[in-house]
Structure 1
């Protein structure tokens, strides 16, 4: 495998950016992580809404919902964030292009989200959510699957925050109106879910 490095002007010509709002988190060279959201993206670069700016040329690693890990360098500041290149092999860029096409079509056509596991409404929706500081919060589970859950809550937890739902370790992966989506640390089995949520 080899890395494809192209001048920025060529990158702009080769890859058209699409407007796509994906939640995630990014890590700067200080190894600190922060929540973020994409403004637009192409296989060669992306624009991020980000609370802490990167420095020009700084290496940035981003983890995005539906996309996964992307890394590159900060190239310029934008309002409330920055733009960065995507350093990737040709094969990874092709995969990224396919993912972006799917996400764009899904938004335009109103297709359902790609779910790895079927989500079901629990018989017992009441659950205890424990945050990283040890605080306990009673929440209502909207639906649950082998890989995660959606909960109704007004808690303001950053993307990537570790939590425990019932007895299951998880992390916050997405916010929605009046709720939070969680991804379990390990894929559960049906018996474990039944025991906890009925």
Structure 2
């Protein structure tokens, strides 16, 4: 009976191993923005990420223990606490509900496997259709074209247009600078040079 009592605690070990696997860091580069406790905002990019934490490269480093709000393309808005400083940035321990952690895990798996499996370029789940989709597209030459925004994410937009600027051309979608990155039937995709600020990303936004 004594020996049985000593071995009784062993069953929880697989659960801990499963939890560690679920929170394994994935090397992934995702553009985004972060807001420190003093409400200053800066662009950033992830180095690696798990459902429980993320390591960022950025220009301004907050204090350890400071609350930070992140907005990452494909992931959305998440919050956390700065857990440590790293070379060129900091790491964040994420505060997320189990449902949000599961979503992050799914997105990270997809992002990590996309290139390996040859999957097509994905579209963020955080895309919106602006209330006023009509906008002026300005080319480097100074030419202006009336176009329509099909949808927009923090890092880019799908544009409906009869005119097709060259791939790689620098343009301004309204006041937001970007680059033409792809064509599709009836229009083209623009990648913004800097992500849109989280507090401006909503269906009534203007570019």
Output the TM-score relative to the length of structure 2.
0.59
Q: How many residues align?
A: 150
Gapped regions of structure 1 (runs ≥ 5): 1-10, 118-125, 130-135, 156-162, 188-198
* Partner residue, 1:128: 138
Q: Structure 2 CA distance, aligned partners of 1:176 and 1:82?
A: 32
SS in 1 for 2:150: coil
Q: Is 1:76 the counterpart of 2:76 in the alignment?
A: no
Say if 1:22 and 1:64, in contact at 8 Å, map to a contact too: yes
Gapped regions of structure 2 (runs ≥ 5): 1-18, 128-135, 152-156, 160-164, 182-188
Q: Is 1:23 the counterpart of 2:31 in the alignment?
A: yes
What are the within-5 Å matches in structure 2 for residues 67-106 of structure 1?
67-106=75-114
* Partner residue, 2:123: 115
Deviation at 1:70, TM superposition (A): 1.2
Deviation at 1:75, TM superposition (A): 0.6
Q: Structure 1 CA distance, aligned partners of 2:52 and 2:149?
A: 34
* Partner residue, 2:51: 43
Q: Structure 1 CA distance, aligned partners of 2:75 and 2:96?
A: 13
Q: CA RMSD in A?
A: 3.8
Q: Is 1:33 the counterpart of 2:35 in the alignment?
A: no
Q: Which structure has the bigger radius of gyration?
A: 2
